[in-house]
Amino acid sequence: MTLISRALKALRDRRRRKTLYSAACYWDSKARQGGAGSPASMWPNPAFNTLCEEEQREAVDALGLSLQGAMVLDLGCGSGRFSRYFAAKGAQVTGIDFSAVALETARSLSDGPNPAYVNLSLFELDDSGLYDLVFAAAALSVACRTRRELADALVRAGRALKQGGALFLIEPVHRGFLSRTLDMGLGEFLQTLEECGLQAKSVRPLVFWPARLALAYLPSPSVLTAPVYRLGRLLMKAPGLCRLGDYWAIKAALKPSGPRSLPAPAPPVMRHSRSADSPGQEGP
Ligand SMILES: C[S@@+](CC[C@H](N)C(=O)[O-])C[C@H]1O[C@@H](n2cnc3c(N)ncnc32)[C@H](O)[C@@H]1O
């Protein structure tokens, strides 16, 4: 596929993102496109992906969690880049994803039982009180189409936590143009979190979105990509510009009252559908 046809395909997919991104076949197809070990949601510019991953890992490290022996759940783990990262730090990790192909890739990239990978939708998660850390990177915002689905996923995530455990999300939360599947502003997202029995402890922006739009789609060498990316990181520290983050790193904990009970089940959706067209190179 030429660069131009990839970009056009990405734009077509983007128009249909509300249905495409919440279907397993879309992520199966992206996992088949390769880039094993890099973000499942890889953009066409590898130099951009590397910088983005670096920034996201720094956000995880900044949590200051002791991961040695910790039980970690990675929701929508894709090809397992964060699952492997947590396991390398001594955690016992379970990654769940509804894309069987992404999980095949994840399994092929590790050489033992840790991380363990389970083919499961995050709307079917039923664990209770097992994990010190429940983590999701660009998973809730592509899986959930409505506030009700978000609440369903958050209640399940909260219920999977041990008391005293942490939920850490790195999610592109937006209303409008930058939104992925979930079209919701940060305020409403945080309010939903609260209603689900979770309390946000810290919220900070990651990945300056103007730089993401400028850099992600066209492969360019690191020597060009890195300075623009780093300038974006600096700019986001200026007063008022934190709103220009593409992702929000949100750390939350269970309220003392614990997770709310599950909302009434949402009507059936095409989460496991195999029928969507094959996707192109749209990012997460
Ligand atoms: C943008 S990718 C992120 C993958 C991984 N977290 C990372 O950062 O590399 C989104 C992932 O969420 C998964 N996903 C989307 N909806 C899901 C659902 N309902 N249940 C489980 N996984 C889901 C997709 O299969 C895909 O692997």
Write down the pTM of the prediction.
0.89
Report helix angle 186-195 to 147-160, nearest 10. Answer: 50
Report whether pLDDT(273) > 90. Answer: no
Alpha-carbon span 168 to 143, nearest angstrom: 16
The ranges assigned to domains in the chain are 20-34+44-67+137-254
For the stretch 228-272, pLDDT in tens is 999 999 999 988 888 899 999 999 999 987 666 665 555 554 444
Identify whether the C-beta of residue 137 lies closer than 8 Å to the C-beta of residue 283.
no
Measured in Å, residue 143 CA sits from the centre of ligand 1 at 7
Residue 193 class from Cβ within 10 Å (0-12 exposed, 13-18 middle, 19+ buried)? buried
Task: Give the mean model confidence (pLDDT) for residues 157-178.
Answer: 95
Q: Please identify, by atom number, the ligand 1 atom nearest to the C-alpha of residue 28.
A: 25
- Ligand 1 atom 2: residue of nearest CA: 41
Between CA 24 and CA 278 the distance in angstroms is: 11
Structure token pair of residue 181: 């599947």
Rounded average pLDDT over 144-150: 96
Ligand 1 pocket, Cβ-based, cut-off 6 angstroms: 22, 27, 39-41, 76-78, 81-82, 97-99, 102, 121-123, 137-139, 142-143, 271, 284
Q: Which residues contact 173 (CB under 8 A, 6 or more apart)?
A: 141, 182, 184, 185, 186, 189, 247, 248
Distance (Å, whole) CA 66 – CA 171: 22
Residue 131 has pLDDT above 80, yes or no: yes
